[in-house]
């Protein structure tokens, strides 16, 4: 036989039942939090027209999109017309543009599902991964930014991950700093790109990259000094020189003040060089880290210009996204009952072929009472059937043979104790429902 | 501004909150049924390697796959290496091949999610649609086929759609009939393709198509007669001539007998010309129809050869799939509380900027008690805030100004009655929790 590759495609994963159940538990928890914050769910297709996505994610992002070939006669052209969604923000904005007249303002929505990016796969980095997004469209108030951060951090607490730190900045602070360093407009995007790699390549790496991009030595040494600086006062002094830097600092300070009663000291900190990769951010931006983990678990920011690109005019908006894939393996499911779907509670044996319709009928009665029930499928000795029931992890095993049929009874065997008892055929569902709840 | 197309891509849909909630309700119901039948969830990626999917769905199916362009330097080649999943059966088989040593036998799994087919979009026919699949791998017993049918019909009942009819056949019956008509091997696939269109083009349409495919006139007239035949006796007589036809009839009869205690007369019927499109079926096949609706709501069958293509040897398997998209609009959500996520239960007004941190703190306390809470985001007159709260559908509105702050109180306004009362700041969450449950 030809060797067949049975791995999932590079960067994607299969989920066994226990992993599906764990993910479901986590997503349900997050949904509940988003809903008590007044966010309502929407859904959009897995793919969008390519022109909807183009020009939103920066050059790097465009390269990482999964593009879909045209179909039918046009397939041979090699042209593409669709691409898998790269995030939920751009689809949200298209959605908002289409339905704006029937949506409440401000529009608070959440969307949870997979997105796809052709990143190089690595530890905790996948090409198909779940994002849990919340956004507020139609409000310029920083209370919206604060609520987004609060909903995300509360989600983490509810998942049993209270050890988070929020790093907060504003795109305006960055612009102010770049102005203060005297970096010309034309080099600013390059500088931001280099700063965005700080976590990965360190201060010296950033300096190296800025040098290769031709920045003056003096500027590089100023930036390097500031990057190593623990004293925010000096950086604030630099940012505050420009009008836009001032505005940025005010944004940061106001958000910190808004959440001050809810986040203990050290839970949220000003992080003046945090840049966030995506092109569309305009104001406050944030990243949320879990202690002891590398990489942000959640992030987001304000994007006041993106919605306008679709609907015209200016429609302020902000949002954030929580990625669960990196933490799934570390989660402890608090309610182990969620995993019950994996084992049958009751296993119905089959005496012989002629008894099979009645075995199915008994199973139906149990299932009507939400008892997880399997029926023996093959033909075989009762002893083999009992062995299979034990292997499957069933708690109870039922027998219904000619004897039982005559007496209008069913025999129940407790597979952990070996104990057997007979109950009236009519009472079988009722009896097992009680037994199953007892354990 | 350039005109931007804000429609979702052709054949796909956006879901507003109420539609997401409805779909969630339906999918949860189906999950519960599948789990009490002892099926456990798995998940696989949205796309598979193209070679995994090729040769499984027939010529027509291959054309309808959404294929993904290679990335990076290879994009320019116009070549594709991945395709969106076309169903859940082939991914399941790959999954089974990979994990077979850690999976129970028989392996009963379910998978629910979107699949993608580039069909011509039409009423109730989408390019992205949800399938709810159950399969049993590793059992040749027809009890497995019966259980698949029972789990699907029970799902329909639980969704409030008890008016179903199961149409049952076996690929072996079809082969037996084709032998009896004397149709040569080489024309059999053509004949099946024509028969598969019976529902769409009627008896005369099928006859026309068979003629164009060069079948002898006598054979066409025999088939046409049989297609119009209500008396199954004559068709059984024809099928039973061949060994394979006999086997097929036995399969059909046994499944009908297995479910006889659970399905009233007329709920399941032998449908000797039902062919099912997909290539991989080998034995019993079925379609489930809802009274008054066109097109099958669920379908499936036995595919004893497909798993072997991946793992070698023969591994019997059967399964079925329920598509919810066609029925979603007709569903009545039985528990309207499921839609609560859409409206805030409590709306917290904000007296002025200085009071915003405390407004957020009050909201946090309510949200901790799972009360769906919105906070006013902008700055504005209290009267405007109350108007917004009413528009959003909130039941209660809270005030916390300097007066309340001094008295350590919060004022609660019932927005339907206009009634106001003050409660101690400390008791606000407790009080509202009671009020919210009362309604």
pLDDT for the residue numbered A333: 64
Q: How far is CA A203 from CA A214, A338, A437, B124, in A?
A: 17, 46, 59, 57
Q: What is the pLDDT of residue B180?
A: 93
pLDDT tens per residue across span B291-343: 877 789 999 999 999 999 888 889 999 999 999 988 887 776 655 444 444 78
pLDDT at residue number B56: 83
Range name among A24-33, A56-65, A247-256 with the lowest pLDDT average:
A56-65
Nearest to A16 among B99, B140, B377 (CB): B99
Percent of chain A with pLDDT over 90: 69
pLDDT band at A334 (very low <50, low <70, confident <90, very high): low
Alpha-helical segments (H) within B54-197: 58-63, 89-99, 142-158, 171-180, 185-195
Residue B88 counted as an annotated binding residue: yes
- 3-state class (DSSP) for residue B205: helix
- Residues B235-287 pLDDT 10s: 999 999 999 999 999 999 999 999 998 987 789 999 999 988 767 899 999 99
- Nearest chain B residue to A37, by CA: B373
- Is the pLDDT assigned to residue A315 strictly greater than 80? yes
Section A54-76 average pLDDT: 88
**pLDDT grade for A338, boundaries at 50, 70 and 90:** very low
Question: In this complex, do A104 and B374 lie within 8 Å of one another by their Cβ atoms?
Answer: no
A9, B47: Cβ pair inside 8 Å? yes
**pLDDT given for residue B211 in this prediction:** 92
Per-residue pLDDT for A55 more than 80?
yes
Q: Do B350 and A143 touch (CB under 8 A)?
A: yes
Q: Search chain B and give the residue with CA nearest A312.
A: B1
Strands B396-399 and B409-414: antiparallel
Residues A345/A317, Cβ–Cβ less than 8 Å: no
Closest residue in A to B379 (Cα–Cα)? A141
B87 is in an annotated binding site: yes
- Fold held by B343-438: Rossmann fold (3.40.50)
Judge whether residue A230 has pLDDT over 60: yes
Length of chain A: 439
pLDDT on residue A329: 73
A117 belongs to an annotated ligand binding site = yes
Looking at the DSSP bridge assignments, the partners of residue B165 are B289
Residues B149-208 have pLDDT tens digits of 999 999 999 999 989 999 999 999 999 999 999 998 888 888 888 888 888 889 999 999
At A339 the pLDDT is 46
Mean pLDDT rounded to a whole number for chain B: 90
CB contact under 8 A, B78 and A77: yes
3-state secondary structure of B164: strand
Per residue in B96-150, pLDDT tens?
Answer: 999 999 998 899 999 999 999 998 888 778 999 999 999 999 999 999 999 999 9
Cβ separation B42–A102 shorter than 8 A: no
A92 close to A113: Cβ distance less than 8 angstroms: no
Residue with tokens 């040569």: B184
Cα gap B315→B93, rounded to integer Å: 10
Instruction: Judge whether A409 and A425 are in contact, CB under 8 Å.
Output: yes
Average pLDDT over chain A, rounded to an integer = 91
Nearest CA-CA partner of B137 in B375, B352, B310:
B310
Q: How far is A378 from chain B (nearest CA, A)?
A: 5
Question: What pLDDT sits at residue B335?
Answer: 53
Facing B35 at nearest CB: one of A23, A94, A341? A341
Per-residue DSSP letters for A165-197?
EEEEEEHHHHHHHHHHTT--HHHHHHHHHHHTT
Quote the pLDDT of residue A92. Answer: 97
Strands in A271-404 per DSSP E: 284-290, 298-302, 317-323, 346-348, 373-375, 396-399
Pairwise CB contact (< 8 Å): A8 & B41: no
The mean pLDDT value for A209-216 works out to 90
Helix (H) or strand (E) holding A13: none
Inter-chain residue contact B118 with A71, CB threshold 8 Å? yes
Indicate yes or no: CB of A82 within 8 angstroms of CB of B370: no
Q: Does the interface ipTM go beyond 0.85?
A: yes
Minimal CA separation from B108 to chain A, in Å: 10
Candidate from A52-61, A362-371, B59-68 with smallest mean pLDDT: A52-61
What residues of chain A lie within 8 A of the CB of B261, using their CB?
357-358, 360-361
Render pLDDT for A404-432 as a digit per residue (tens, 0 to 9).
999 999 999 999 999 999 999 999 999 99
> What's the average model confidence in pLDDT over A201-218?
91
**Site from B6, B140, B253 to mutate, A interface, most A CB atoms within 10 angstroms:** B6
Alpha helices by DSSP H, listed for B64-102, are 89-99
Nearest chain A residue to B91, by CA: A8
CB contact under 8 Å between B68 and A67, yes or no, is yes
**Could you read off the pLDDT of B404-415 as tens digits, one per residue?**
999 999 999 999
Q: Is A135 marked as a binding-site residue?
A: yes
- Give the pLDDT of residue A196: 83
Cα A378–A381–A382 angle (5° rounding)? 100
Task: State the CB neighbour count (10 A cutoff) for residue A21.
Answer: 20
In sequence order, which residues have a C-beta less than 8 Å from that of residue B115 and are 6 or more positions away? B84, B85, B86, B87, B88, B128, B129, B130, B131
Of the candidates A164, A80, A64, A41, the residue with the CA atom closest to the CA atom of residue A120: A64
Give the pLDDT confidence score for residue A294 in this predicted structure: 77
**Is B225 assigned to a binding site?**
no
Element at B245 (helix H, strand E):
helix B243-258
Cβ contacts (< 8 Å) between A4 and chain B: which residues? 52, 97, 309-310
Residue B81 counted as an annotated binding residue: no
- Give the count of Cβ contacts less than 8 A between chain A and B: 285
- What's the gap in Å between the CA of B173 and the closest CA on chain A? 23
Q: What is the CATH number of domain A17-328?
A: 3.30.930.10
In which residue ranges of chain A is CATH 3.40.50.800 found?
343-438
- Indicate whether B229 pLDDT > 90: no
Q: Calculate how close chain A gets to B430, using CA atoms only, in Å.
A: 16
Region B46-69 average pLDDT: 90
* Radius of gyration (C-alpha) of chain A in whole angstroms: 29
Rounded Cα distance between A284 and A165, Å, is: 16
pLDDT tier for residue A89 given thresholds of 50, 70 and 90:
very high
Q: Which residues of A touch B357 (CB under 8 A)?
A: 257-262
Instruction: Quote helix, strand, coil % in chain A, to nearest 5.
Output: 45, 20, 35
The pLDDT score that the predictor gives to residue B334 is 58
**Contact state of A82 with B45 under an 8 Å Cβ cutoff:** no
Tens digit of each residue's pLDDT (9 = 90 or more) over A140-162:
999 999 999 999 999 999 999 98
Considering CB atoms only, which of B6, B17, B99 is closest to A98?
B6
CA distance A335 to A115: 28
Residue A340 reports pLDDT greater than 60 = no
Has A131 been labeled as part of a binding site? yes
* Interchain CB distance below 8 Å, B367 and A37: yes
Smallest Cα distance from B178 to chain A, Å? 31
Instruction: Select from B63, B353, B377 the residue whose CB has the most chain A CBs within 10 Å, as the one to mutate to test that interface.
Output: B377
Give the nearest partner residue to B41 out of A4, A17, A79, using CB atoms.
A17
Of A116-125, A176-185, B380-389, least confident by mean pLDDT is A116-125
Q: Which residue, among B385, B380, B383, has the nearest Cα to B353 in the 3D structure?
A: B380
């Amino acid at each position: 036989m030809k060797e067949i590759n049975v791995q999932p495609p590079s960067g994607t994963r299969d989920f066994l039942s226990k992993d599906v159940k764990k993910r479901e538990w986590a997503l349900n928890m997050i949904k509940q939090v988003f809903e008590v914050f007044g966010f309502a769910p929407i859904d959009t297709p897995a793919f969008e027209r390519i022109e909807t996505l183009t020009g939103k994610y920066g050059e790097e992002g465009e390269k990482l999109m999964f593009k879909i070939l045209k179909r039918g006669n046009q397939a041979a052209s090699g042209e593409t017309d669709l691409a898998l969604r790269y995030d939920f923000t751009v689809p949200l904005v298209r959605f908002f543009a289409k339905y704006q007249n029937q949506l409440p303002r401000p529009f608070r929505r959440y969307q949870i599902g997979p997105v796809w990016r052709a990143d190089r796969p690595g530890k905790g980095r996948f090409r198909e991964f779940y994002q849990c997004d919340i956004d507020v469209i139609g409000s310029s108030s920083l209370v919206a930014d604060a609520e987004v951060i609060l909903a995300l951090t509360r989600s983490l607490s509810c998942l049993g991950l209270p050890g988070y730190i929020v790093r907060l900045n504003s795109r305006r602070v960055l612009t102010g700093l770049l102005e203060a360093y005297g970096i010309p407009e034309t080099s600013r995007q390059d500088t931001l790109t280099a700063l965005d790699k700080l976590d990965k390549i360190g201060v010296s790496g950033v300096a190296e990259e800025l040098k290769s991009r031709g920045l003056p030595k003096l500027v590089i040494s100023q930036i390097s000094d500031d990057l190593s600086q623990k004293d925010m006062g000096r950086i604030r002094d630099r940012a505050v020189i420009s009008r836009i830097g001032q505005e940025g600092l005010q944004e940061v300070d106001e958000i910190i003040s808004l959440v001050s009663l809810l986040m203990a000291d050290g839970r949220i900190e000003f992080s003046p060089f945090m840049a966030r990769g995506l092109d569309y951010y305009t104001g406050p931006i944030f990243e949320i880290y879990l202690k002891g983990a590398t990489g942000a678990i959640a992030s987001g920011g304000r994007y006041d210009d993106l919605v306008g690109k679709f609907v015209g005019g200016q429609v302020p908006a902000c949002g954030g996204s929580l990625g669960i894939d990196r933490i799934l393996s570390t989660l402890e499911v608090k309610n182990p009952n969620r995993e019950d779907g994996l084992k049958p509670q009751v296993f119905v044996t089959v005496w012989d072929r002629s008894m099979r319709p009645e075995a199915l009928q008994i199973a139906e009665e149990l299932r009507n009472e939400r008892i997880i029930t399997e029926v023996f499928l093959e033909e075989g000795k009762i002893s083999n059937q009992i062995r299979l029931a034990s292997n499957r992890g069933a708690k109870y095993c039922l027998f219904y043979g000619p004897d039982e049929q005559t007496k209008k009874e069913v025999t129940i065997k407790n597979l952990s104790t070996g104990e057997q008892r007979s109950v009236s055929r009519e009472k079988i569902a009722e009896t097992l429902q009680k037994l199953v709840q007892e354990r």
